[in-house]
Protein backbone atom coordinates (compact mmCIF):
# COMPACT_ATOMS: atom_id res chain seq x y z
CA UNK A 1 0.00 0.00 0.00
CA UNK A 2 1.76 3.15 -1.13
CA UNK A 3 1.06 6.12 -3.35
CA UNK A 4 2.21 4.47 -6.53
CA UNK A 5 1.59 6.76 -9.46
CA UNK A 6 1.88 5.71 -13.09
CA UNK A 7 2.05 8.46 -15.66
CA UNK A 8 1.34 8.14 -19.34
CA UNK A 9 4.28 8.39 -21.64
CA UNK A 10 5.21 12.02 -22.35
CA UNK A 11 4.83 13.15 -25.90
CA UNK A 12 5.54 16.84 -25.34
CA UNK A 13 8.74 18.27 -26.73
CA UNK A 14 11.74 18.50 -24.44
CA UNK A 15 12.71 22.16 -23.80
CA UNK A 16 15.93 23.24 -25.49
CA UNK A 17 17.08 24.59 -22.14
CA UNK A 18 17.24 20.99 -20.92
CA UNK A 19 18.62 19.39 -24.07
CA UNK A 20 21.65 21.69 -24.45
CA UNK A 21 23.24 21.18 -20.99
CA UNK A 22 22.50 17.45 -21.06
CA UNK A 23 24.12 17.00 -24.49
CA UNK A 24 27.17 18.94 -23.33
CA UNK A 25 27.32 16.76 -20.23
CA UNK A 26 27.14 13.58 -22.32
CA UNK A 27 30.02 14.79 -24.48
CA UNK A 28 32.10 15.74 -21.46
CA UNK A 29 31.56 12.49 -19.60
CA UNK A 30 32.36 10.53 -22.77
CA UNK A 31 35.97 11.77 -22.78
CA UNK A 32 37.30 9.13 -20.34
CA UNK A 33 35.71 6.38 -22.42
CA UNK A 34 37.30 7.78 -25.56
CA UNK A 35 40.67 8.05 -23.83
CA UNK A 36 40.51 4.46 -22.59
CA UNK A 37 39.50 3.21 -26.04
CA UNK A 38 42.41 5.05 -27.69
CA UNK A 39 44.93 3.66 -25.21
CA UNK A 40 43.51 0.14 -25.51
CA UNK A 41 43.62 0.37 -29.30
CA UNK A 42 47.36 1.02 -29.13
CA UNK A 43 47.88 -2.45 -27.66
CA UNK A 44 46.26 -4.24 -30.60
CA UNK A 45 43.53 -6.87 -30.48
CA UNK A 46 45.69 -9.91 -29.76
CA UNK A 47 47.71 -8.25 -27.02
CA UNK A 48 44.56 -6.75 -25.53
CA UNK A 49 42.88 -10.15 -25.27
CA UNK A 50 46.01 -11.58 -23.65
CA UNK A 51 45.97 -8.78 -21.10
CA UNK A 52 42.33 -9.46 -20.21
CA UNK A 53 42.24 -13.27 -20.13
CA UNK A 54 44.93 -14.05 -17.60
CA UNK A 55 44.89 -15.42 -14.05
CA UNK A 56 45.84 -12.08 -12.49
CA UNK A 57 42.68 -10.47 -13.86
CA UNK A 58 40.58 -13.31 -12.40
CA UNK A 59 42.16 -12.76 -8.97
CA UNK A 60 41.53 -9.02 -9.18
CA UNK A 61 37.93 -9.68 -10.23
CA UNK A 62 37.32 -11.97 -7.28
CA UNK A 63 38.90 -9.55 -4.81
CA UNK A 64 36.92 -6.61 -6.17
CA UNK A 65 33.56 -8.41 -6.19
CA UNK A 66 34.01 -9.64 -2.62
CA UNK A 67 34.88 -6.16 -1.41
CA UNK A 68 32.01 -4.45 -3.24
CA UNK A 69 29.38 -6.96 -2.14
CA UNK A 70 30.23 -7.14 1.55
CA UNK A 71 30.85 -3.41 2.05
CA UNK A 72 27.66 -2.46 0.18
CA UNK A 73 25.45 -4.87 2.15
CA UNK A 74 26.89 -3.95 5.55
CA UNK A 75 26.83 -0.21 4.81
CA UNK A 76 23.21 -0.40 3.65
CA UNK A 77 22.12 -2.26 6.78
CA UNK A 78 23.88 0.23 9.04
CA UNK A 79 22.67 3.29 7.11
CA UNK A 80 19.00 2.22 7.07
CA UNK A 81 19.13 1.32 10.77
CA UNK A 82 20.63 4.65 11.86
CA UNK A 83 18.22 6.62 9.65
CA UNK A 84 15.24 4.72 11.05
CA UNK A 85 16.32 5.16 14.67
CA UNK A 86 16.84 8.89 14.26
CA UNK A 87 13.84 9.75 12.08
CA UNK A 88 11.18 7.31 13.30
CA UNK A 89 11.79 6.55 16.99
CA UNK A 90 11.82 8.40 20.31
CA UNK A 91 15.60 8.18 20.50
CA UNK A 92 16.83 10.98 22.81
CA UNK A 93 19.05 13.73 21.39
CA UNK A 94 18.09 12.74 17.86
CA UNK A 95 19.57 15.92 16.33
CA UNK A 96 22.90 15.19 17.98
CA UNK A 97 22.93 11.60 16.74
CA UNK A 98 21.94 12.76 13.28
CA UNK A 99 25.15 14.81 13.16
CA UNK A 100 27.37 12.19 14.80
CA UNK A 101 26.42 9.30 12.51
CA UNK A 102 27.26 11.39 9.44
CA UNK A 103 30.61 12.56 10.84
CA UNK A 104 32.53 9.40 9.76
CA UNK A 105 31.89 10.37 6.15
CA UNK A 106 34.11 13.41 6.79
CA UNK A 107 37.04 11.13 7.68
CA UNK A 108 39.05 10.23 4.56
CA UNK A 109 39.26 6.49 4.12
CA UNK A 110 43.05 6.54 3.82
CA UNK A 111 43.31 8.36 7.17
CA UNK A 112 40.94 5.88 8.81
CA UNK A 113 42.84 2.92 7.36
CA UNK A 114 46.17 4.19 8.68
CA UNK A 115 44.61 4.80 12.11
CA UNK A 116 43.38 1.23 12.41
CA UNK A 117 46.63 -0.26 11.18
CA UNK A 118 48.49 1.82 13.76
CA UNK A 119 46.54 -0.04 16.45
CA UNK A 120 46.21 -3.44 14.79
CA UNK A 121 49.01 -4.01 12.24
CA UNK A 122 47.57 -7.43 11.41
CA UNK A 123 44.34 -5.81 10.20
CA UNK A 124 45.65 -5.65 6.62
CA UNK A 125 43.83 -7.53 3.89
CA UNK A 126 40.18 -8.32 3.28
CA UNK A 127 38.98 -8.07 6.89
CA UNK A 128 40.60 -4.70 7.44
CA UNK A 129 39.26 -3.36 4.16
CA UNK A 130 35.70 -4.42 5.06
CA UNK A 131 35.89 -2.82 8.50
CA UNK A 132 37.41 0.50 7.42
CA UNK A 133 35.40 1.04 4.23
CA UNK A 134 32.08 0.07 5.81
CA UNK A 135 32.63 2.58 8.62
CA UNK A 136 33.55 5.26 6.10
CA UNK A 137 30.72 4.70 3.59
CA UNK A 138 27.52 3.87 5.45
CA UNK A 139 26.58 7.61 5.58
CA UNK A 140 26.06 7.37 1.81
CA UNK A 141 22.93 5.37 2.63
CA UNK A 142 22.04 7.12 5.89
CA UNK A 143 21.84 10.63 4.40
CA UNK A 144 19.44 9.98 1.48
CA UNK A 145 17.32 7.52 3.46
CA UNK A 146 17.02 9.96 6.38
CA UNK A 147 16.04 12.72 3.95
CA UNK A 148 13.41 10.46 2.38
CA UNK A 149 11.99 9.48 5.76
CA UNK A 150 11.92 13.12 6.79
CA UNK A 151 10.01 14.16 3.67
CA UNK A 152 7.58 11.25 3.61
CA UNK A 153 3.89 11.99 4.04
CA UNK A 154 2.74 10.77 7.51
CA UNK A 155 -0.81 10.37 6.13
CA UNK A 156 0.33 7.25 4.27
CA UNK A 157 1.34 5.54 7.50
CA UNK A 158 -1.79 6.70 9.28
CA UNK A 159 -3.96 5.30 6.52
CA UNK A 160 -2.12 1.98 6.70
CA UNK A 161 -2.60 1.78 10.47
CA UNK A 162 -6.29 2.67 10.14
CA UNK A 163 -6.68 -0.30 7.78
CA UNK A 164 -5.41 -2.68 10.44
CA UNK A 165 -1.76 -3.07 9.44
CA UNK A 166 0.70 -3.18 12.32
CA UNK A 167 3.99 -1.23 12.33
CA UNK A 168 5.98 -4.05 10.77
CA UNK A 169 3.49 -4.51 7.94
CA UNK A 170 3.33 -0.74 7.43
CA UNK A 171 7.09 -0.58 7.13
CA UNK A 172 7.31 -3.25 4.43
CA UNK A 173 4.14 -2.28 2.53
CA UNK A 174 4.27 1.52 2.76
CA UNK A 175 7.58 2.92 3.96
CA UNK A 176 10.10 0.59 2.33
CA UNK A 177 8.70 1.03 -1.21
CA UNK A 178 8.93 4.80 -0.74
CA UNK A 179 12.58 4.40 0.31
CA UNK A 180 13.58 2.40 -2.77
CA UNK A 181 14.98 5.34 -4.79
CA UNK A 182 17.12 6.68 -1.95
CA UNK A 183 18.10 3.27 -0.56
CA UNK A 184 19.22 1.73 -3.83
CA UNK A 185 20.67 5.04 -4.98
CA UNK A 186 22.92 5.10 -1.93
CA UNK A 187 23.78 1.41 -2.29
CA UNK A 188 24.85 1.76 -5.92
CA UNK A 189 27.00 4.77 -5.00
CA UNK A 190 28.79 2.69 -2.37
CA UNK A 191 29.33 -0.15 -4.82
CA UNK A 192 30.75 2.19 -7.45
CA UNK A 193 32.86 3.95 -4.85
CA UNK A 194 34.37 0.61 -3.89
CA UNK A 195 35.25 -0.03 -7.52
CA UNK A 196 37.23 3.23 -7.58
CA UNK A 197 38.70 3.20 -4.04
CA UNK A 198 42.48 3.51 -3.94
CA UNK A 199 44.00 5.26 -0.91
CA UNK A 200 42.59 3.05 1.83
CA UNK A 201 43.22 -0.17 -0.08
CA UNK A 202 46.81 0.88 -0.72
CA UNK A 203 47.41 1.28 3.02
CA UNK A 204 45.52 -1.92 3.84
CA UNK A 205 47.47 -3.91 1.25
CA UNK A 206 44.35 -5.26 -0.44
CA UNK A 207 44.63 -5.45 -4.21
CA UNK A 208 41.73 -4.60 -6.52
CA UNK A 209 41.44 -3.33 -10.09
CA UNK A 210 42.04 0.25 -8.94
CA UNK A 211 45.29 -0.46 -7.13
CA UNK A 212 46.43 -2.58 -10.07
CA UNK A 213 45.65 0.24 -12.51
CA UNK A 214 47.69 2.64 -10.37
CA UNK A 215 50.62 0.22 -10.36
CA UNK A 216 50.47 -0.17 -14.14
CA UNK A 217 50.49 3.60 -14.67
CA UNK A 218 53.08 4.63 -12.08
CA UNK A 219 55.20 1.54 -11.51
CA UNK A 220 55.18 -0.46 -14.74
CA UNK A 221 54.48 2.55 -17.01
CA UNK A 222 52.21 0.28 -19.03
CA UNK A 223 49.32 2.44 -20.22
CA UNK A 224 47.84 -0.24 -22.46
CA UNK A 225 47.63 -2.81 -19.66
CA UNK A 226 46.10 -0.24 -17.33
CA UNK A 227 43.55 0.67 -19.99
CA UNK A 228 42.48 -2.96 -20.40
CA UNK A 229 42.07 -3.33 -16.65
CA UNK A 230 39.96 -0.18 -16.71
CA UNK A 231 37.74 -1.68 -19.40
CA UNK A 232 37.09 -4.68 -17.15
CA UNK A 233 36.26 -2.23 -14.37
CA UNK A 234 33.74 -0.56 -16.66
CA UNK A 235 32.09 -3.92 -17.37
CA UNK A 236 31.69 -4.44 -13.64
CA UNK A 237 30.13 -1.01 -13.40
CA UNK A 238 27.71 -1.87 -16.20
CA UNK A 239 26.61 -4.97 -14.31
CA UNK A 240 25.93 -3.04 -11.11
CA UNK A 241 24.04 -0.32 -12.96
CA UNK A 242 21.88 -2.89 -14.75
CA UNK A 243 21.13 -4.58 -11.42
CA UNK A 244 20.17 -1.27 -9.82
CA UNK A 245 17.93 -0.40 -12.76
CA UNK A 246 16.23 -3.80 -12.53
CA UNK A 247 15.65 -3.51 -8.78
CA UNK A 248 14.41 0.08 -9.02
CA UNK A 249 11.72 -0.89 -11.53
CA UNK A 250 9.51 1.48 -13.48
CA UNK A 251 7.17 2.51 -10.69
CA UNK A 252 7.16 6.16 -9.65
CA UNK A 253 6.46 7.19 -6.09
CA UNK A 254 5.08 10.61 -5.36
CA UNK A 255 3.79 12.31 -2.26
CA UNK A 256 0.39 13.93 -2.14
CA UNK A 257 0.78 16.21 0.87
CA UNK A 258 -2.27 15.35 3.00
CA UNK A 259 -0.33 15.35 6.22
CA UNK A 260 2.50 17.28 7.79
CA UNK A 261 5.71 16.19 9.51
CA UNK A 262 4.23 17.40 12.79
CA UNK A 263 1.61 14.64 12.63
CA UNK A 264 4.24 11.92 12.75
CA UNK A 265 4.20 9.71 15.84
CA UNK A 266 7.63 8.46 16.84
CA UNK A 267 7.88 4.81 17.80
CA UNK A 268 8.73 4.13 21.45
CA UNK A 269 11.86 2.00 21.71
CA UNK A 270 11.03 0.86 25.21
CA UNK A 271 13.42 -1.68 26.68
CA UNK A 272 15.71 -1.68 23.62
CA UNK A 273 16.43 2.05 23.89
CA UNK A 274 19.68 1.48 25.89
CA UNK A 275 20.77 -1.09 23.29
CA UNK A 276 20.15 1.40 20.48
CA UNK A 277 22.09 4.13 22.28
CA UNK A 278 25.01 1.80 23.03
CA UNK A 279 25.04 0.69 19.39
CA UNK A 280 25.22 4.28 18.15
CA UNK A 281 27.97 5.08 20.67
CA UNK A 282 30.04 2.09 19.55
CA UNK A 283 29.48 2.96 15.89
CA UNK A 284 30.58 6.57 16.44
CA UNK A 285 33.70 5.51 18.36
CA UNK A 286 34.76 2.96 15.75
CA UNK A 287 34.02 5.17 12.74
CA UNK A 288 35.18 8.58 14.02
CA UNK A 289 36.69 8.17 17.49
CA UNK A 290 39.55 5.87 16.49
CA UNK A 291 40.82 8.04 13.60
CA UNK A 292 40.53 11.21 15.68
CA UNK A 293 42.29 9.58 18.60
CA UNK A 294 45.24 8.40 16.51
CA UNK A 295 45.53 11.78 14.79
CA UNK A 296 45.59 13.42 18.22
CA UNK A 297 48.32 11.05 19.31
CA UNK A 298 50.56 11.91 16.35
CA UNK A 299 49.73 15.60 16.67
CA UNK A 300 51.11 15.79 20.20
CA UNK A 301 53.79 13.09 20.17
CA UNK A 302 55.07 12.97 16.57
CA UNK A 303 58.65 14.18 16.09
CA UNK A 304 57.78 15.60 12.67
CA UNK A 305 54.77 17.59 13.83
CA UNK A 306 56.22 21.09 13.46
CA UNK A 307 53.31 23.36 12.53
CA UNK A 308 53.71 25.82 9.66
CA UNK A 309 50.71 28.15 9.94
CA UNK A 310 51.06 29.66 6.48
CA UNK A 311 51.14 26.25 4.79
CA UNK A 312 48.16 25.02 6.79
CA UNK A 313 46.10 28.15 6.07
CA UNK A 314 46.94 28.02 2.37
CA UNK A 315 45.94 24.36 2.12
CA UNK A 316 42.72 25.04 4.02
CA UNK A 317 41.73 27.97 1.80
CA UNK A 318 42.43 25.98 -1.34
CA UNK A 319 40.46 22.98 -0.07
CA UNK A 320 37.39 25.05 0.74
CA UNK A 321 37.54 26.86 -2.62
CA UNK A 322 37.90 23.65 -4.61
CA UNK A 323 35.27 21.83 -2.56
CA UNK A 324 32.59 24.49 -2.83
CA UNK A 325 33.29 25.25 -6.49
CA UNK A 326 33.24 21.60 -7.53
CA UNK A 327 30.08 20.88 -5.51
CA UNK A 328 28.18 23.81 -7.04
CA UNK A 329 29.28 22.77 -10.54
CA UNK A 330 28.10 19.20 -9.90
CA UNK A 331 24.70 20.47 -8.75
CA UNK A 332 24.43 22.67 -11.85
CA UNK A 333 25.14 19.62 -14.01
CA UNK A 334 22.79 17.36 -12.05
CA UNK A 335 19.64 19.52 -11.95
CA UNK A 336 18.80 19.54 -15.69
CA UNK A 337 19.95 15.94 -16.01
CA UNK A 338 17.70 14.62 -13.24
CA UNK A 339 14.76 16.77 -14.29
CA UNK A 340 15.01 15.49 -17.86
CA UNK A 341 15.26 11.88 -16.68
CA UNK A 342 12.36 11.96 -14.25
CA UNK A 343 9.96 14.26 -16.09
CA UNK A 344 10.61 13.45 -19.76
CA UNK A 345 12.56 10.17 -19.93
CA UNK A 346 13.60 8.93 -23.37
CA UNK A 347 16.84 7.56 -24.82
CA UNK A 348 18.83 10.75 -24.34
CA UNK A 349 17.75 10.96 -20.71
CA UNK A 350 18.64 7.32 -20.08
CA UNK A 351 22.10 7.72 -21.64
CA UNK A 352 22.80 10.96 -19.81
CA UNK A 353 21.68 9.52 -16.49
CA UNK A 354 23.73 6.31 -16.61
CA UNK A 355 26.93 7.61 -18.18
CA UNK A 356 28.09 9.58 -15.08
CA UNK A 357 27.80 6.37 -13.05
CA UNK A 358 30.26 4.76 -15.43
CA UNK A 359 32.64 7.65 -14.92
CA UNK A 360 32.18 7.51 -11.14
CA UNK A 361 33.40 3.92 -11.15
CA UNK A 362 36.71 4.99 -12.67
CA UNK A 363 39.62 5.87 -10.40
CA UNK A 364 40.34 9.58 -10.08
CA UNK A 365 43.68 8.75 -11.66
CA UNK A 366 41.96 7.87 -14.96
CA UNK A 367 39.83 11.03 -14.92
CA UNK A 368 42.93 13.11 -14.24
CA UNK A 369 44.95 11.51 -17.02
CA UNK A 370 42.01 11.91 -19.42
CA UNK A 371 41.66 15.63 -18.82
CA UNK A 372 45.42 16.15 -18.95
CA UNK A 373 45.57 14.24 -22.25
CA UNK A 374 42.84 16.27 -23.97
CA UNK A 375 43.84 19.59 -22.41
CA UNK A 376 47.45 19.34 -23.59
CA UNK A 377 46.45 18.38 -27.13
CA UNK A 378 43.28 20.35 -27.76
CA UNK A 379 42.79 22.97 -25.00
CA UNK A 380 46.23 23.84 -23.67
CA UNK A 381 45.16 27.16 -22.03
CA UNK A 382 43.05 25.10 -19.62
CA UNK A 383 45.93 22.81 -18.63
CA UNK A 384 46.70 23.00 -14.89
CA UNK A 385 43.92 25.50 -14.23
CA UNK A 386 41.35 25.53 -11.45
CA UNK A 387 38.51 25.26 -13.97
CA UNK A 388 39.86 21.99 -15.37
CA UNK A 389 40.19 20.61 -11.84
CA UNK A 390 36.61 21.60 -10.96
CA UNK A 391 35.35 19.91 -14.12
CA UNK A 392 37.20 16.77 -13.07
CA UNK A 393 35.56 16.91 -9.64
CA UNK A 394 32.12 17.35 -11.16
CA UNK A 395 32.69 14.40 -13.50
CA UNK A 396 33.85 12.20 -10.64
CA UNK A 397 31.08 12.96 -8.15
CA UNK A 398 28.08 13.88 -10.28
CA UNK A 399 26.24 10.66 -9.24
CA UNK A 400 26.31 11.84 -5.61
CA UNK A 401 24.27 14.87 -6.61
CA UNK A 402 22.13 12.83 -9.01
CA UNK A 403 21.11 10.25 -6.41
CA UNK A 404 20.02 12.77 -3.79
CA UNK A 405 18.20 15.08 -6.21
CA UNK A 406 16.48 12.19 -8.01
CA UNK A 407 15.18 10.73 -4.74
CA UNK A 408 13.74 14.14 -3.79
CA UNK A 409 12.25 14.86 -7.23
CA UNK A 410 10.53 11.48 -7.44
CA UNK A 411 8.62 12.37 -4.28
CA UNK A 412 7.27 15.58 -5.86
CA UNK A 413 3.94 15.03 -7.56
CA UNK A 414 4.00 16.13 -11.18
CA UNK A 415 0.42 17.32 -10.73
CA UNK A 416 1.70 20.31 -8.74
CA UNK A 417 3.83 21.42 -11.67
CA UNK A 418 1.00 20.83 -14.16
CA UNK A 419 -1.39 22.89 -12.04
CA UNK A 420 1.09 25.75 -11.98
CA UNK A 421 1.57 25.54 -15.75
CA UNK A 422 -2.22 25.64 -16.21
CA UNK A 423 -2.23 28.94 -14.32
CA UNK A 424 0.03 30.49 -16.94
CA UNK A 425 3.41 30.06 -15.25
CA UNK A 426 6.44 29.29 -17.42
CA UNK A 427 8.68 26.22 -16.97
CA UNK A 428 11.46 28.19 -15.26
CA UNK A 429 9.03 29.92 -12.88
CA UNK A 430 7.41 26.62 -12.00
CA UNK A 431 10.78 25.05 -11.32
CA UNK A 432 12.03 27.93 -9.16
CA UNK A 433 8.81 28.41 -7.16
CA UNK A 434 7.40 24.90 -6.96
CA UNK A 435 9.90 22.17 -7.70
CA UNK A 436 13.11 23.61 -6.29
CA UNK A 437 11.71 24.38 -2.80
CA UNK A 438 10.38 20.83 -2.57
CA UNK A 439 13.67 19.21 -3.59
CA UNK A 440 15.84 21.50 -1.46
CA UNK A 441 16.66 18.70 1.07
CA UNK A 442 17.89 16.52 -1.80
CA UNK A 443 19.91 19.38 -3.30
CA UNK A 444 21.43 20.14 0.09
CA UNK A 445 22.31 16.51 0.72
CA UNK A 446 23.88 16.24 -2.73
CA UNK A 447 25.86 19.45 -2.20
CA UNK A 448 27.19 18.18 1.12
CA UNK A 449 28.09 14.76 -0.27
CA UNK A 450 29.99 16.19 -3.23
CA UNK A 451 31.70 18.82 -1.07
CA UNK A 452 32.92 16.18 1.38
CA UNK A 453 34.15 13.86 -1.34
CA UNK A 454 36.04 16.64 -3.11
CA UNK A 455 37.86 17.62 0.06
CA UNK A 456 39.01 14.01 0.46
CA UNK A 457 39.84 13.41 -3.22
CA UNK A 458 43.49 12.64 -3.86
CA UNK A 459 44.62 11.16 -7.17
CA UNK A 460 42.79 13.48 -9.58
CA UNK A 461 43.86 16.45 -7.48
CA UNK A 462 47.51 15.44 -7.68
CA UNK A 463 47.30 15.39 -11.48
CA UNK A 464 45.05 18.37 -12.20
CA UNK A 465 45.88 20.94 -9.52
CA UNK A 466 47.66 24.12 -10.61
CA UNK A 467 51.41 24.07 -10.05
CA UNK A 468 52.39 24.80 -6.46
CA UNK A 469 48.83 24.45 -5.10
CA UNK A 470 48.16 21.99 -2.27
CA UNK A 471 44.98 20.82 -0.54
CA UNK A 472 44.65 19.32 2.92
CA UNK A 473 44.32 15.84 1.38
CA UNK A 474 47.46 16.16 -0.78
CA UNK A 475 49.47 17.44 2.19
CA UNK A 476 48.34 14.49 4.31
CA UNK A 477 49.27 12.07 1.54
CA UNK A 478 52.69 13.62 0.89
CA UNK A 479 53.70 13.55 4.54
CA UNK A 480 52.26 10.10 5.19
CA UNK A 481 54.03 8.67 2.14
CA UNK A 482 57.31 9.84 3.69
CA UNK A 483 56.38 8.34 7.10
CA UNK A 484 56.04 11.88 8.54
CA UNK A 485 52.91 11.05 10.49
CA UNK A 486 53.34 13.89 12.93
CA UNK A 487 53.62 16.41 10.11
CA UNK A 488 50.48 15.05 8.45
CA UNK A 489 48.43 15.18 11.67
CA UNK A 490 47.55 18.94 11.59
CA UNK A 491 46.29 18.67 8.01
CA UNK A 492 44.35 15.47 8.74
CA UNK A 493 42.74 16.93 11.88
CA UNK A 494 41.78 20.12 10.09
CA UNK A 495 40.38 18.15 7.15
CA UNK A 496 38.09 16.19 9.46
CA UNK A 497 36.98 19.29 11.39
CA UNK A 498 36.26 21.31 8.26
CA UNK A 499 34.45 18.39 6.63
CA UNK A 500 32.38 17.73 9.72
CA UNK A 501 31.20 21.30 10.24
CA UNK A 502 29.08 21.67 7.07
CA UNK A 503 27.63 18.19 7.57
CA UNK A 504 26.66 19.11 11.12
CA UNK A 505 25.04 22.39 10.07
CA UNK A 506 23.25 20.79 7.11
CA UNK A 507 21.89 17.82 9.05
CA UNK A 508 20.85 19.97 12.02
CA UNK A 509 19.08 22.48 9.75
CA UNK A 510 17.31 19.87 7.64
CA UNK A 511 16.39 17.91 10.77
CA UNK A 512 14.86 21.01 12.33
CA UNK A 513 12.98 21.91 9.16
CA UNK A 514 11.64 18.38 8.92
CA UNK A 515 10.08 18.77 12.39
CA UNK A 516 8.22 21.95 11.46
CA UNK A 517 4.83 22.13 9.86
CA UNK A 518 5.18 22.52 6.09
CA UNK A 519 3.26 24.91 3.88
CA UNK A 520 2.06 24.07 0.42
CA UNK A 521 4.44 25.87 -1.98
CA UNK A 522 1.76 25.92 -4.65
CA UNK A 523 -0.53 28.14 -2.60
CA UNK A 524 2.35 30.02 -0.97
CA UNK A 525 4.05 31.08 -4.22
CA UNK A 526 1.17 31.25 -6.72
Q: What is the pLDDT of residues 139-154, one digit of tens each?
A: 888 888 888 887 776 6
Dihedrals phi, psi of 250, to nearest 5 degrees: -105, -5
Q: What is the pLDDT of residues 167-200, one digit of tens each?
A: 777 777 777 777 777 888 888 888 888 888 887 8
Q: Tell me how far CA of residue 201 lies from CA of 36, 287, 506, in angstroms.
A: 23, 17, 30
CA distance from start to end of the chain = 32
What does the CA dihedral 75, 77, 80, 81 come to, rounded to 10 degrees?
A: -120
Roughly what angle, to the nearest 10 degrees, separates helices 139-151 and 386-409? 40
> For the whole model, what pTM was predicted?
0.74
Closest CA to 453 of 508, 395, 406, 504: 395
218 or 304: which leads in pLDDT: 218
Query: Residue 525 — pLDDT band, cuts 50, 70, 90?
Result: very low
521 or 301: which leads in pLDDT: 301
Query: Residue 285 — pLDDT band, cuts 50, 70, 90?
Result: very high
- At 247 the pLDDT is 67
Q: Tell me how far CA of residue 429 lies from CA of 331, 397, 526, in angstroms.
A: 19, 28, 10
Superfamily of segment(s) 15-256+272-525: MetI-like (1.10.3720.10)
Q: What is the pLDDT of residues 101-142, one digit of tens each?
A: 888 877 888 888 878 887 787 888 899 999 999 999 998 888
Dihedrals phi, psi of 157, to nearest 5 degrees: -70, -40
CA neighbours within 13 Å on the CB side: how many for 309?
Answer: 0
d(CA 425, CA 422): 7
- At 67 the pLDDT is 94
Query: Residue 3 — pLDDT band, cuts 50, 70, 90?
Result: very low
For 277-286, 368-377, 423-432, 467-476, which range has the lowest pLDDT when averaged over its residues?
423-432
What is the distance, to the nearest Å, from the Cα of residue 227 to the centroid of all Cα atoms in its chain?
25
Q: What is the pLDDT of residues 314-353, one digit of tens each?
A: 888 999 999 999 999 999 888 888 888 877 767 777 777 7
Q: What is the pLDDT of residues 489-509, one digit of tens each?
A: 888 888 888 877 666 665 555
Question: In the predicted model, what is the mean pLDDT of residues 437-465?
Answer: 83
- At 189 the pLDDT is 80
- At 522 the pLDDT is 31
Query: Residue 436 — pLDDT band, cuts 50, 70, 90?
Result: confident
Output 516-524 pairs: Cβ under 8 A, ≥24 positions apart. 516/261, 516/262, 517/260, 517/261, 517/262, 518/257, 518/260, 518/261, 520/257, 521/416, 521/433, 521/434, 521/437, 521/438, 522/416, 522/419, 522/420, 522/434
Residue ranges of domains in the chain: 15-256+272-525
Amino acid sequence: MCSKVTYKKRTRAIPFGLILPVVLLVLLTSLPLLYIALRAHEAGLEHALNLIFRSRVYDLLLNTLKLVTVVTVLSTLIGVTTAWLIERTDLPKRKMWNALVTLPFAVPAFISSYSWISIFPSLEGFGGAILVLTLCNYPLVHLPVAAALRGMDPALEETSRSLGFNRTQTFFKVILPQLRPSLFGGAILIALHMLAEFGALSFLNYETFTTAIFDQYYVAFDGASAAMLTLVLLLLCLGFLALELLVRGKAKYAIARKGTPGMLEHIALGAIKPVAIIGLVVLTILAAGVPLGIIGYWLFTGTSSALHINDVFSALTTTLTFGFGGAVLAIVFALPLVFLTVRYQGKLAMLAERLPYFIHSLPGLVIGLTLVFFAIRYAYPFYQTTLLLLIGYAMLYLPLAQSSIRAALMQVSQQLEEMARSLGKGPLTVFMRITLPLITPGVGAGLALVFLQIMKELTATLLLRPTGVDTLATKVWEHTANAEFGASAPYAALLIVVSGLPVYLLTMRSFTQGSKQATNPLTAEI
